[in-house]
Amino acid sequence: MCGVAKNMTTKTLFSVIESPTHPFLTPLYNKLGIDELCFKHMRKLISKIKKVQPDFIAVEFFYGYGNNYAGINISNLDVMLYSLQRYSPNTKVIVFVDKSERQYVDKLNDILPLHAVMTLPVKEIELIIALKDLK
């Protein structure tokens, strides 16, 4: 279960859980000593990062096939990534993506650098490496 940041000296991670395919990683985050705060809506996350700058954001990528994202954006992440540039530029973004949409993440990564891109299902060791910033 996602919670509230307990200790400001530990790393913090904001999860955006917009679909049932988002991997349940809370036990791993807890094991690594990372405080997780979950959001169901991207707009709530954007509002929060204006006040609190997390170390990481873990979020799923959804490509904007039918211009669902106002026609100028590539995906559901564009607006959040632009907000990060202004309000929390040191936050590292970890993106989870379905194999069928993997090629579209590269278009986004060309514009706004991502810390890690992980194809679902997530391999725990890859996530641990990204969270420990061993890249």
**Average pLDDT, 10 consecutive residues per value, the chain (135 residues):** 58 94 94 95 94 96 70 83 93 96 87 91 95 70
Tokens at 76, concatenated: 């559901």
CATH class of the domain at 12-131: alpha beta
Pairwise CA distance, residues 106 & 23, whole Å: 21
Annotated domain spans of the chain: 12-131
3-state secondary structure 57-86: EEEECCECCCCCCCCCCCECCHHHHHHHHH
Tell me if 38 sits within 8 A of 79, measured CB to CB: no
Pairwise CA distance, residues 9 & 29, whole Å: 15
Tell me if 92 sits within 8 A of 55, measured CB to CB: yes
The model carries a pTM of: 0.88
Structure confidence at residue 2 (pLDDT) = 65
Structure confidence at residue 125 (pLDDT) = 95
Structure confidence at residue 129 (pLDDT) = 95
Structure confidence at residue 135 (pLDDT) = 45
